[in-house]
Every structure is written in C-alpha cells, then in structure tokens.
A and B are shown apart, each in its own frame.
Chain A
C-alpha cells in the first residue's frame, strides 16, 4: 500500500538487510558479509527467517530502543 510505504525510511529489517548485507545473496539461501573487503562469511537463510519471526513478534521499534534492549539474552537457536 503505497500511502504507507512511500513514507521515507519506514523500512523493515528485511529491507535493511537486503541492502546493507552483501548483494542479493540473502535470497539465495546464503548471506555473505564482507570483512575488510576481503574475507567472506557465509550464513544461511536461518538469519532471514528468524528475523521475520522476530518482526512478527514485536513491532519495529526505533534503533535506539533496540540498542538499549540488545543486552537482553537473544533467543535465536
């Protein structure tokens, strides 16, 4: 629904990951992260699936809130 999504920068974690993680690979089942522009680390699709589930559980909060919450134990696998 464009009236909601055209608002600048109200983007989902998935959008962010799809852009800030390395190109497109998220959707092939592997996420690639480049370190020092040289080494590649491979993750798997779990990251993305888990992130979707996290999103469903709670509304997106602001980045600051996430930072303050991030000391809580993570529940991912």
Chain B
C-alpha cells in the first residue's frame, strides 16, 4: 500500500463488497481521501474491503473531531465518501460504512471482518440487486389547519363562544383551542404521509422512518412532515419513482400543499453495516 509520506497512516474503510463480484469486474484504481493515496481492495476470503490510507494528523480521533467542524473539510470529505460509494454501488453489491470508519492497522480491520464474517456475508447476499431511496414530504400546515377548522362544527361553535367571553378568559381558551387545532392538523398530516408511506412500503424490502429536519435546517416555508428511506429491488426502481411522481401529481391536482422529494439510488446506508446497526448505535457503546 502506498502512503504519501513517512507519517503514520490510518486505514479508512469505505465499504465491504463480495470478492467474487470484484474478481469478475475489477475496478481501475480511484483517487482516495487524499489525492496521493489511491483506493485499494483488500481481500479477506469472500469479503473484500475497500480502503484507503489517510494521514493520522488529519484523521486521528482528536483531529477528526476538529476537522468535521470545518465545513469545507467536511463537505469535501463527505462528498468524496458519497461519490466513492456511488461508484462502488454502481458495480458491486455494497455494504457502505459510515463516514469516518477508521482502523489503526490492517490487522484490526482483518480481525473485525473475521468477527463479523457471518453477518457481513449474509448482508451481502441479502443486499444483492437492491438499493436505497430517500423520500421526503413537506406539508403546508396552514392548509391543514384551515381544513380542521372547516371540517369541525365543534370548533366553529367554540369559536363563536370565544367571541362572547371576557378578554382574559378568551385569551386562555383561545390558546387552548389553537393547540387543539394544531394537534389535529399534525395528526391529519401524519395520516396523509403515512398512507403514502404504506404504498411505498409495499414496494420495499425494508423501510426506516427518519427524523424530520427542522425548518432552520431546511430553510423552506413548509415543514418537513415525513423523511424515510426505502430499500427496494433495483429492478423496481422505475415503478417506485413512478409511484412518487403520480402521488406528486395527485397532491397538486387536489391542492393538498404537499411537496414530495426523493433522492437515490443510494447504497444501503440504512440497512447494513459492519455490525448490526442496533448494536452499533447502542448508547454507552465505547
């Protein structure tokens, strides 16, 4: 393996792929995290690890912590990770590792692969011919709030009652009612999104509902109301996308104010890992 200097190097792991697929269709070497260090393929029996060397002065635990807070650094490195993964995923069944999966020595990587060989092999076989899609839905809360009021005689009656109340009490009661209306609207939005989620799920081998991004993160007028990933068969891709396009057309025709967005195909970031994801993310794991 090449390193660009005498400085100690760490081993950065991008992904695990089946050795058989790599041998059938070996890849030209690609540029690694550091332009001077190419990506290499290390075979461990039926599993091949896709790695590159990275300098310790940039990727040691302490340095990495500092570097990820530098936007330009994180942006360049995270996109490199993403792009590399896409190229691998285009050709091979891929278990994509998270950004920043780093080993001090090749021996540690070998040990890790050996330890998880059964799980990795099973996952590679399961993931063959599959890909991940992310679908986000943005909702116009105002529209749903209005609909809640319009559709509830109870609320309309209550509103009339409020008008007759003394100012102090009215303020308090109105606040309570607004909260009630908002909760009802949220419930409707959730129901709306979930019905589509169920449709997408019918085409999926796996799904995961993710956290919605806050407005200050998305900088959009509408709230993100649904954010989920779906593991689908690559052969179903067209049908899956069509389902989303048709739904978007329906939302527009019915003027629901819902916007759908999807991205993909992604490697199965949410449906695979070196170890079981639950295990990996367990609190107190250190």
Contacts and interface: CB of A to CB of B under 8 A. Distances in A.
B104 interface: yes
Contacts of B281: 22-23, 32
B181 interface: no
A55 B195 CA distance: 33
Contacts, number: 161
A18 B285 CA distance: 21
A2 B247 CA distance: 10
B61 A63 contact: no
B235 to A, nearest CB: 16
A70 B73 contact: yes
B76 A14 contact: no
B42 interface: no
A18 B269 CA distance: 10
B263 A5 contact: yes
Contacts of B81: 16, 20
A6 B61 contact: no
Interface residues of B toward A: which range?
Answer: 35 or more
A34 B280 contact: yes
Contact of A63 (B83, B245, B260): B83
B171 interface: no
B64 A76 contact: no
Given A34-B98, A37-B101, A47-B74, A2 B64 contact: no
Contacts of B64: 33, 35, 41
B70 A74 contact: yes
B99 interface: yes
B99 A21 contact: yes
Contacts of A51: 71, 74-75
Interface string A10-53: 11011111111111101110011111111111010011111110
Contact of B100 (A10, A18, A35, A48): A35
Interface of A: 1-2, 5-6, 8-11, 13-24, 26-28, 31-41, 43, 46-52, 54, 56, 63, 66-67, 69-70, 72, 74-77
28 contacts: A5-B261, A5-B262, A6-B244, A6-B262, A9-B263, A10-B263, A14-B213, A17-B78, A19-B266, A20-B81, A20-B99, A21-B99, A22-B98, A33-B98, A36-B103, A41-B65, A41-B68, A41-B100, A47-B68, A48-B217, A49-B217, A54-B71, A54-B72, A54-B75, A56-B219, A67-B80, A75-B71, A76-B70
